[in-house]
Amino acid sequence: NAGVTQTPKFRVLKTGQSMTLLCAQDMNHEYMYWYRQDPGMGLRLIHYSVGEGTTAKGEVPDGYNVSRLKKQNFLLGLESAAPSQTSVYFCASRRGTSVLNEQFFGPGTRLTVL
C-alpha cells in the first residue's frame, strides 16, 4: 500500500494563479482531511470529507475549495492564490469513527505564492 500520497510535493505560484492539490489514498478510508501548517500555528483544518461526494468546512476554509468525486481522492483547489496561502499542506485519511482508527498523513506539499 502506498498509503496517503500528495501531488505535487512543491509548487511556486504567482498571486492570482490557480492550482489543484491532489490527495490519494489506497486504504479505502471514508474520512479525508486537508490541513495547512504554518510556523507557530501548528496544523489547522481547511476542509474535510466524511465520504464520497461530501465535503465540509473546517477551521480556515476561506480561499479554498474541495471536491471528493471518488472515494480515494480528495482535491484541494485555490482559485486565486494569495501570498497568505503560502504554507505546507497536509492531507490525511481515516477509516471510520472507531476510537482506534488512526489518522494517516501524506508527506505534505510546500506551496509558495509570490
Partner 1 sequence: AQTVTQSQPEMSVQEAETVTLSCTYDTSESDYYLFWYKQPPSRQMILVIRQEAYKQQNATENRFSVNFQKAAKSFSLKISDSQLGDAAMYFCAYRSAPGGTSYGKLTFGQGTILTVHP
What distance in Å separates the CA atoms of residue 102 and residue 92, rounded to the nearest whole number?
A: 10
What distance in Å separates the CA atoms of residue 69 and residue 27, rounded to the nearest whole number?
A: 16
Asked whether 57 and 75 are in contact (CB, 8 A), the reply is no
Binding residue for partner 1, selected from 31, 34, 64, 74, defined by CB under 8 A: 31
Nearer to partner 1, 13 or 46 (CB): 46
Residue 83, SS3 per DSSP: helix
Q: Is 83 in the site for partner 1 (CB under 8 A)?
A: no
Please, which of residues 86-105 interact with partner 1 by CB under 8 A? 88, 90, 92, 94, 97-99, 101-103, 105
Q: Is 45 in the site for partner 1 (CB under 8 A)?
A: yes
Q: Is 74 in the site for partner 1 (CB under 8 A)?
A: no
